[in-house]
Amino acid sequence: MTSPDTGAATGAGSAPVAAPPASLAVARVNKSYGPASVLRGVSFELTRGHIHALAGGNGSGKSTLIKVLAGIERADSGVLSRPGRSEVELSGFTPVQAREAGLRFVHQDLGLLPDMTVAENVAFARGFPKRGGRRIAWRRLHDSTRALLARFEVDVDPGATVRTLRPADRAMVAIARALADDDPDQVLVLDEPTASLPHHEVDILLDGLSRRAKQGQTILYVSHRLDEVLSVADSVTVLRDGVVAATRGTQGLDQLQLAELMAGRSLGTLYGDERHPSSAAEPEPSVRPAPVLEARGLSAGRISNIDLDVRAGEIVGLAGLLGSGRSTLLRTIFGAVRPTSGTLKLEGEAVTSPSIKTAMRRGVALVPEDRLADALFHESSVAQNITIATLARYVRWLRLSRSRERAVAADMIGDLQIKTTGPDQTVARLSGGNQQKAVVARWLQRAPRVLLLDEPTQGVDVMTRADIYERVRTVAATGTSVIVASSDVEELAHLCDRVVVLRAGRVTAELSGTEISVRDIVKYSYADKEAS
């Protein structure tokens, strides 16, 4: 059999079997911003009861296409058609028309009010039932919400505050709310629904989506996470530079093949060569080089009594569940969080007055987890964002040399393959992956002795991941000490020489050599090593 979107299939000696009818068809979508063409002739179909993935790198046009389907952005041309409904021109498509067409959206930001109950969040979409014309019928609201949640197999109390729910349940509540009017013809569009979920919660959500599809739900699934796409989707459309590069079934497709469809080139291996040597190859403690960074009994905020050594050229991973203290440890090393006890040494010299200024002066750099809130100057140019941490280099006689600043930025743009129209483009106009590269470029300008990376590949495409991994390995090879905090355990298992696992602010395990595996990182994230 062929995939649902590759046409009819035939069996040996049998008549052709018609492919299932399309639940939704999008044809010839074009969209430009000035001279920049973002979508060019994009066409694809969705089949009822199937999960169809939309994949592509940062800047491929995925986000723009989703905005066009939601009526938030107007296409230059293109049509949307559904069985039994009139064809709609996307050049004038509005959010009201999107809803009338049966499209329901759940975005990465779920749009739930965390301090309101589940029932209240559902009611904001469905309306509050009234008693006597004016008073809210709370019992009826809770009963109807309970019935809705049962239909979606979501086991939560309608009276529970959304903030208290586990992340996967919040996502399922948002999905249930989106599909609350129970129209079997609805198309559910999920835009990066697992981006903020911890690793162990992802499977819960994906299982729920698979059950919905088996019940006849049509789902368009957008994600950077290729393992999710291949595990949950029946078929996939790949966008590359605004054009459909491929549409095919996922059966028989692996992550590297999908990544290469997205990249349009060979990637070799997704993670490159593994760095960590076998334990037997580790030098004796007496001959190991002195650590560049040394923490002893370090406590601050979420972390308590942390001992950590990192040597020149070493990549050390920090693993642990949400709230384990990974980010707090990095921010403490960077001087953004003041320690309450313990000692921190850089190249053998104690840090007596920790601050960001001190850390930067001594060669420490931090790429933070939330680039939008903590790293980017949104209305400034790409050049200004890259050079802001080394601005003094471009000042002569109290005047800033913009030409020199742009020239250096242009070199970094080329070196890190940042997709931009030029150094003067506003950084807010870049895709998420290219924004991340700009932040990395900023700190590489300082040639740091210690590079701290907090979720360096969160929300970026597979090609940007490969570029960032290559850059991290190159920097480490020059002698820079690198600490990577990540919720992606596969990333840590392949990239790092050692992995330190945190749980509730304490070190529960340190893995090296052949000990480093996805299984063991996950195991020690949930239980102390001694108790395992």
Please answer whether residues 383 and 409 qualify as being in contact, where contact means their C-beta atoms are separated by less than 8 angstroms.
Answer: yes
Query: 164: helix, coil or strand?
Result: helix
Separation of CA 309 from chain center: 29
**What pLDDT sits at residue 256?**
82
Calpha distance 9→487 (Å, rounded): 42
pLDDT score for 182: 66
Residue 77 DSSP symbol: E
Instruction: Return the pLDDT at 239.
Output: 92
Rounded-to-integer distance, Cα 396 and Cα 116, Å = 56
Q: Say if CB 178 and CB 188 are below 8 A apart.
A: yes
pLDDT in tens, the chain (532 residues): 333 344 333 334 444 444 566 789 999 999 988 777 889 999 999 999 899 999 887 678 888 899 999 998 999 999 999 887 888 999 989 999 998 888 988 877 778 888 899 899 888 877 787 877 778 888 888 888 888 888 777 888 989 998 888 777 888 888 888 877 766 688 988 888 776 666 667 777 788 888 888 888 899 998 878 888 999 999 999 998 889 999 999 999 988 888 888 877 776 665 666 655 544 445 555 556 789 999 999 999 889 999 999 999 999 999 987 778 999 999 999 999 999 999 999 998 999 888 999 999 999 999 998 888 888 898 999 999 999 988 888 888 888 888 888 999 999 998 888 888 889 999 988 877 888 889 999 999 889 999 999 998 877 777 788 888 888 999 999 999 999 999 888 889 889 999 999 988 999 999 988 888 888 888 888 764 443 3
Residue burial 103-132, b: 16+ Cβ < 10 Å; e: rest? bbbbbbebebeeeebbbbbbbeeeeeeeee
Residue where the block lists tokens 């609350």: 180
DSSP 445-502: TT--SEEEEESTTTT--HHHHHHHHHHHHHHHHTT-EEEEE-S-HHHHHHH-SEEEEE
Closest by CA to 249, choosing from 2, 39, 497, 64, is 2
Q: Is the dihedral of CA 180, 182, 183, 186 positive or negative?
A: positive
CA dist., res. 269 & res. 299, Å (int): 39
What type of residue sits at position 344? L
In the DSSP assignment, the letter for residue 18 is P
| CB atoms closer than 10 angstroms to residue 481 | 26
Q: What is the pLDDT of residue 15?
A: 44
**Whole-number Å distance between alpha carbons of 468 and 463:** 9
Question: Whole-angstrom Cα distance, residue 48 to residue 23?
Answer: 5
Scored b (16 or more CB within 10 A) or e, 395-410 reads: eeeeeeeeeebbebbb
8 φ, ψ to 5°?
-75, 155
Residue that the structure tokens 């743009």 belong to: 413
Pairing of strands 450-454, 364-367: parallel
CA distances to 157, 239, 402 from 205, rounded to whole Å, are 18, 25, 49
Asked if 460 and 429 count as a contact pair (C-beta separation under 8 A), the reply is: no
**Long-range contact list for 403-407, CB < 8 A, 24+ apart?**
none
Phi, psi of 529 (to 5 degrees): -60, -40
Distance CA 424, CA 433 (A): 18
> Residue 303 forms beta bridges with which residues?
300
Q: Is 363 helix (H, G, I), strand (E, B) or coil?
A: coil
Identify any residues that bridge with 293 across adjacent strands, giving them in sequence order. 310, 346
Give residue 337's region: left, alpha or beta (phi > 0; psi -120 to 50): beta
Task: Count the Cβ atoms, other than its own, within 10 Å of residue 420.
Answer: 23
